[in-house]
Amino acid sequence: MKVLCVTPNVAIDRTLTVPGFREGGVWRAAHAHIACGGKGINVARALKPLGQDPLCAGILAGHGGRLVADAAAAEGLAGRWTWVAGETRTSFIIVGEHGRATVVNEPGLALTDADWRRFIADIRQLAGGCAAVAISGSLPPGVSDGALRELIAAAAGDGQHADERRPVWVDTSGEALATAIATRPADIKVNADEAAALLGWKIATPTDALQAAREIRRRGPARVALTLGDRGAVIATDRGDWHAWPPRLHAVNPVGSGDCFLAGLISGLGAGVTPEEALRLATACGTGNAIEVHIGLPDPTKLTWLLVGTQVRQVA
């Protein structure tokens, strides 16, 4: 299945493993890793070992943009990029003791209206050859949250009959998340903190998460998936609601786990399995990423073990 993975705010990811890291002082990294970054690229990175055919799309600029494009190609990730003036941002991921990660994101590219219109036109063309679309991450500075409606419409196939529109999953936060929820036909993937900020609720348990997912779904989306870290994830759909939880493991680097979760969800649903089994696969994928140093899925043996060990229950 060909999946378009859209990252409006691409970055270079520099991951530094720094034993004992805390604020202040001078630190020496034990390991350093550079990769193309951004949530949509992480989704593509996880889709590939699941047997899917991801296509990366995003906005690139300058020397950093060329580094991103080259790094994606070196990983075997196909990319079709919209090039603009400026310089692609860098994100720093510092992994300290017990797998705790500190993330520092530079501001993204400031786009002109013409830049955004070219990006929308590129997405409309690329999505036409794909079975599903994932739109992940923040919007660049200078782009209004309302512009996300244009992006979702172009990805879904604006102008087509509702039955012919392709599924579009959106994973974002803040005002952009509120916009996505109100924009059909987008489905929503969100984490507990993002949902809590949106709804003004405390989300601490799977019961809280299901209530939040149902409330978000009431506002428009057909399907809402909400992740809870090591407590698993929930999904609310018109076919029922489920909670999945993984076996207890030691997290090494949880950054990107939500993106790997979304890759598993899209892969499962695209294969025609039930929401229950798609949630099981998604939860195993998110957990599999968390036990690795670098963003991506573990080897097939570990992933199979996680899939078998992930439990799912339907919630009435």
**Which are the catalytic amino acids?**
259
CB 50 within 8 Å of CB 61:
no
What residues does 237 pair with on adjacent strands?
240
Look at strands 186-191 and 168-171 and give their pairing. parallel
Task: Describe the crossing of helices 39-47 and 257-270 by its angle, rounded to 10 degrees.
Answer: 50
Residue with tokens 């109100």: 182
Q: How far is CA 76 from CA 8, 29, 56, 196, 306, in A?
A: 20, 28, 11, 37, 25
N-terminal to C-terminal alpha carbon distance within the chain: 32
Alpha-helix residue ranges (DSSP H) falling in the chain: 39-47, 62-74, 113-127, 147-156, 174-181, 192-199, 206-218, 257-270, 275-290, 300-309
Structure tokens at 248: 């207890």
SS3 category, 4: strand
- Identify the CA nearest to 21 among candidates 105, 104, 106, 107: 104
Please, how many CA atoms are within 13 Å of residue 157, restricted to the half-sphere of its CB? 17
Q: CA-to-CA distance for 1 and 4, rounded, in angstroms?
A: 10
SS3 category, 157: coil
Burial 75-99, CB ≥16 within 10 A → b, else e: bebebebbebebebbbbebbbbeee
